[in-house]
Structure 1
Amino acid sequence: MDGVNVLVLAVLGTGFLMVSRRSLDAIIRLYALQNVLLALVSFGLARGEPHFVLAGLALFLIKGIAIPYYLFWLLDRLEVSHEVEGYLSVFLTLVLAGVLTALAFRVGRVFLLPGAPLPEGVPVALSLVLLGALSMVARKKAISQVLGFLALENGVFLLALAESHGLPLFVELGVALDAFAAVFLAGILLFRIKGELGHLDTARMRALRG
């Protein structure tokens, strides 16, 4: 299990880097790496069970390759700046990320179920959820907020994996496909917003409210 714990800590590291980066290209690559690491965690917990191998493969193919590829394509088609604009500086964002992570590790034991197969993953999963939420509220561009939602969803997946040795295979496949469908629909919405307003800055969109 030591190798799995190292992978879980690496997943947390990608969460921190995703919050601190100011390049959409870098954030998408980190999101892809995060999913590859989560797939390896699933493989590490398999213990000969094909369910976890198949779930890990689905995670790797759909969320580690297909979604990042689609996001890169989306960036090129939208012709927007790849620079991430936020409401907070990088320093303040990292300080807040550190506070949220400390909070997740502090309260993680409350969420820990008896017999959890990966107890070390519970506070990390809660951290990913909070870091994803931070990315959604602290950034201005809609596409960077979509990435925050995807990181949050990865936290939910890791929580299920750590607490209950995973979900039924069909549920995990459905979640992965739902994530792809959500990103696909978000892409269509972003195209419409860009066509109507000429930008994807949610801060400027708020000024349109009466």
Structure 2
Amino acid sequence: MDIQYKACAPENYTRGRKEPVRYLVIHYTANDGDTARGNAAYFARENGGHTSAHYFVDEKEVWQSVKEGDTAHHCGAKSYRHPHCRNHNSIGIELCSRKGEGGYVFLPQTVEWAALLTRSLMEKYGLGPEHVLRHYDVTGKNCPAPFVEQPEAWADFQNRLQEEEWEMELPAWAKTTYHWLEEMPDWARSSVSKAVAQGVIDTNEDNSVTLPGLNLQTIVWMDRAGLLDKKEG
């Protein structure tokens, strides 16, 4: 999976680790409609109260803020429920949230991205599902609220991590092949226009394109990186 990176401000995390990674801790941002990109940008420029997380996940993308070899300040406390999981032996994963009528919720696609990221980290570090915890399991804090207040949602997430044959459920836009700009999601149109103008995307004889939806995010990321800006000379 493609993961973007923006380095966290140094005062918000600790360089290095005292122990190897043994746990993955799931959190929520407790915001309404925030983005992974926005959180990464915030912790890169601000003193976030000496708090941080390794990853931020929303319904469209994943951003890394702290390198896995460094210690994020995401589950520290004066007292603990869990006997072993601490900042120095865990990776913190924050899911961006929304506010619903009954409290905080996660968009389904956010949960899908988080499951994909978590599974990849489990495989990387050789961790079983019992090493994937909620912040609540570590300190007793009501975090991530959607997975604490709805235990069945947490059980579903854990089941996703254990499925032998597992494919990510893609959103409708990712399953579609686009031919005309007006058919595309609003968030991609400007970037696709730039890509066509720069010759990155070829046009057909009728000026349409043949663009798989899965490529939209890559084009948007290229645009954000300045790779689609018009070059002088």
TM-score range, shorter chain: under 0.3
Q: Normalising to structure 2: TM-score of the pair?
A: 0.26
Greater strand fraction, Structure 1 or Structure 2: 2
Determine which structure has greater relative contact order: mean sequence separation of CA pairs < 8 Å that are 6+ residues apart, divided by chain length: 1
- Which has the higher Rg, Structure 1 or Structure 2? 2
Greater helix fraction, Structure 1 or Structure 2: 1
